[in-house]
């Protein structure tokens, strides 16, 4: 059955810092090679919250540019149903009307040096859903997938808000890939939020000796164990450096995956890594972080690696969600209607009551 597409739709629109409004706006019209999608679920990310508060306010630096343009519909982790597309789009993405589909959060140009080298996630002029006017996001009833987008099918057998978790999970899996985890490794994951739990699941899938989860919340650590952590440490009660050193005969962990965004997690990771260990940084920080760089060089000769988005990891993330191996009902902890977007933002802002908060436009 083909959807009857209305002329207008409800959408959350950014008018500036802490000025998001639910409005009636025109339903977008897909152009050549594009697809119109009816949104089923959209997750609220920490970066959505940062944009809501305003980049300058978030960073404490008035010289930093805003991350999101005004008059933009936010939302970059989502899933929906195809309601309209032309033959060009159908052939490119191998999709049809009625298919459930996700789209990677970046819309690359496919022409810059990074795109030509397969590093599309680092595209120089790139667009991102929900941050720029050219690519409106998913906090709306409908959205358009541009011709340059990367699109993947998702099973119709899983809840929509579970399917939307493919975006943060792909990011987590990319961080795991950057860590080059080996069978005998001791892997430490800092933070048990949406990204950290995905890192734990991805690290466990690599088959290392131990996956250790760090957090200050006991209930999040319990969830980390369900995702694959065989050791959990509440850092408010135990010294993680001492625990890891004791476990490893005084050497330290092989891999440290940082997913908290808290400045203290950086020196913590440097302290508990062994010599020649690997530090993978995924988080975005709200303030500058200062460390003793001699630990990285003279003391330990560490590999310090960044991770950005989830390139080439979306099929694996989707397969992991569809497999049922993850406790998705607990990871996707809270769902709200589109009209309740402010409650959703406030829930994410509190941070200690939820894991993944989603809006369900329907």
User: Tens digits of per-residue pLDDT, 120-148?
Assistant: 999 999 899 999 889 999 999 999 999 99
The burial class, CB within 10 Å (0-12 / 13-18 / 19+), for 265 is buried
pLDDT, one tens digit per residue, over 164-204 is 999 999 999 999 999 999 999 999 999 999 999 999 999 99
Tokens 């996001």 belong to residue: 137
Question: Please, what are the domains in the chain?
Answer: 8-153+327-360 (3.90.180.10), 171-306 (3.40.50.720)
Report pLDDT for 281. 97
Q: Which residues pair with 258 in a beta bridge?
A: 190, 281
Mean pLDDT rounded to a whole number for the chain? 94
Residue 229 tokens, joined: 């952590």
pLDDT tens digits, 260-295: 989 999 999 999 999 999 999 998 887 889 999 999
- pLDDT at 56 > cutoff 90: no
Q: 22 pLDDT exceeds 90?
A: yes
Backbone φ, ψ for residue 87 (5° rounding) = -65, -35
Determine which helix (DSSP H) or strand (DSSP E) holds 346, and give its type and residue range: helix 341-350
Hey, which bits of 174-272 come out as E strands?
186-190, 210-215, 231-234, 253-258
**pLDDT, position 224:** 98
Q: Which pTM was predicted?
A: 0.94
Q: Is the pLDDT at 332 greater than 90, yes or no? A: yes
Average pLDDT over residues 88-106: 98
Average pLDDT in the 56-70 region?
52
Residue 234 has what pLDDT? 98
CA nearest to 197, candidates 189, 209, 206, 208: 189
Assess whether pLDDT exceeds 50 at residue 60.
no
Q: Answer whether 338's CB lies under 8 Å from 139's CB.
A: yes
At residue 66, the pLDDT reads 52
pLDDT band of residue 63 (cuts 50, 70, 90) is: very low
């Amino acid at each position: 059955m083909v959807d009857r597409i209305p002329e207008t739709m409800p959408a959350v629109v950014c008018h500036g810092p802490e000025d998001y409004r639910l409005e009636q706006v025109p339903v977008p019209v897909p152009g050549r090679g594009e697809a119109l999608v009816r949104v089923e679920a959209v997750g609220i990310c920490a970066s959505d919250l940062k944009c809501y508060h305003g980049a300058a306010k978030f960073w404490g630096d008035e010289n930093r540019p805003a991350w999101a343009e005004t008059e933009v519909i936010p939302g970059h982790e989502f899933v929906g149903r195809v309601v309209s597309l032309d033959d060009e789009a159908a052939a490119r993405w191998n999709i049809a009307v009625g298919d459930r589909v996700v789209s990677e959060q970046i819309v690359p140009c496919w022409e810059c040096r990074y795109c030509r080298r397969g590093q599309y996630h680092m595209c120089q002029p790139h667009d991102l859903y929900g941050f720029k006017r050219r690519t409106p996001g998913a906090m709306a009833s409908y959205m358009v997938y541009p011709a340059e987008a990367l699109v993947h099918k998702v099973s119709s057998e899983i809840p929509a808000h579970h399917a939307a978790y493919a975006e943060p999970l792909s990011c987590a899996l990319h961080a795991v890939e950057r860590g080059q985890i080996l069978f005998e490794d001791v892997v430490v994951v800092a933070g048990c939020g949406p990204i950290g739990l995905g890192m734990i699941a991805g690290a466990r899938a690599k088959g290392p000796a131990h996956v250790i989860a760090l957090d200050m919340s006991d209930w999040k650590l319990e969830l980390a164990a369900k995702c694959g952590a065989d050791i959990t440490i509440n850092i408010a009660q135990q010294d993680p450096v001492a625990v890891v050193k004791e476990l490893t005969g005084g050497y330290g962990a092989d891999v440290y995956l940082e997913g908290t965004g808290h400045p203290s997690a950086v020196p913590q990771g440097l302290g508990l890594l062994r010599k020649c260990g690997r530090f993978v940084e995924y988080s975005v920080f709200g303030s500058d972080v200062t460390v003793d760089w001699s630990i990285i060089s003279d003391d330990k000769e560490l590999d310090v690696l960044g991770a950005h988005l989830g390139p080439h990891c979306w099929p694996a993330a989707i397969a992991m969600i569809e497999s049922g191996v993850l406790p998705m009902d607990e990871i996707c902890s809270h769902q709200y209607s589109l009209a309740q977007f402010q409650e959703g933002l406030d829930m994410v802002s509190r941070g200690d009551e939820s894991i993944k908060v989603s809006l369900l436009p329907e």
